[in-house]
Amino acid sequence: MTKTLLFLSVLSSGLVFSQEDLLKDIDTIKTNTEISPPAFKGLQIVTAQSTKLTAKNEWYIVVAHRFGDISTGFKNFFGLDEASTKLGVIYGLTDGLSLSLSRETNMKTFELAAKYRVLKQNDDIPVDLVGYNVLAINTDLDKDNYPGLKFSDRLSYLTQALISRRFNDNLSLQLTPSFIHKNLYDQHIEDKNQFLTGLGGRYKISKRISINAEYFVNFDNHSYYKNPLSVGMDIETGGHVFQLVFSNSQLNSDIGYLSNAAGKWAKGQIFFGFNLYRVF
């Protein structure tokens, strides 16, 4: 597994120095408008959303992959035998509003999302403020297990306020208060309404590479699941941002990631994966 991770890191680093810089705005100096560059290179910090938005008329293709639990060892080849994949598209209606559609193999979940800017950091405004709303549809549920299943039972909702600040060229932090509502839930292991708060950030270690991390506290006292904790690396290459990810949650969907993290870092129950964005 160590050789596999090393190979991915070396391969991605090689791409960095052979292709042009896609997201130069992250390193540019303030313009005459005194508006700060984006706080993050990627549209996600690790798995959670960042305050970065797509530009007007830009299309993004998203591929996110999470392998299985690496603590299973050779039995599942350190998680490589088990994986969850998310495919999605994002379109920028304006510079401050984007819409997205994605589908994850785990629980066969579709997510429709809107991301929109409320405030932009500048000399007078200390933070970026972005709203994020998700409608999720779980198509894995069937009437054999839920005889009285209605379409509305498949739906879940997420509302987030993404509040970030770029402190300097190297450091950005983000606070993310969140609310989840599930129409169908097991009252023995979770609540219908869940409140979470997340803290994430990035620290740039070279021109095109940064170390990222995020942690969410779920205030649902009945939850069987763990608080999601993830660390990763942004690698900027020509045409896309490649993110390496280590997390205690295997799910890629926004709601699944936040509310269904099952692994324990202390026991080595970690899921390795990556996010890949390609812009058109």
145 burial type by CB count under 10 A (0-12 exposed, 13-18 middle, 19+ buried): exposed
* pLDDT tens, residue by residue, 64-114: 989 877 776 666 665 566 788 999 999 999 999 999 999 999 889 999 999
- Distance (Å, whole) CA 123 – CA 154: 45
CATH 2.40.160.40 fits 2-279, yes or no: yes
**pTM summary value:** 0.84
DSSP 257: H
Each residue's pLDDT tens digit in the chain (280 positions)?
444 444 344 334 443 433 444 444 445 444 455 678 889 989 999 999 999 999 999 999 999 989 877 776 666 665 566 788 999 999 999 999 999 999 999 889 999 999 999 999 999 999 999 999 999 999 998 887 788 899 999 999 999 999 999 999 999 999 999 999 999 988 888 899 999 999 999 999 998 899 999 999 999 867 789 999 999 999 987 667 789 999 999 999 999 999 999 899 989 899 999 999 888 8
Torsion sign, CA atoms 35, 39, 44, 49: negative
218-224 own/partner pairs: CB under 8 Å, 24+ apart: 218/194, 218/258, 218/259, 219/194, 219/195, 220/190, 220/191, 220/194, 220/195, 220/259, 221/191, 222/187, 222/188, 222/189, 222/190, 222/191, 223/189, 223/190, 223/191, 223/194, 223/259, 224/188, 224/189, 224/190
Span 166-191, pLDDT tens digits: 999 999 999 999 999 999 988 888 89
Q: What is the pLDDT of residue 186?
A: 86
Domain range list for the chain: 2-279
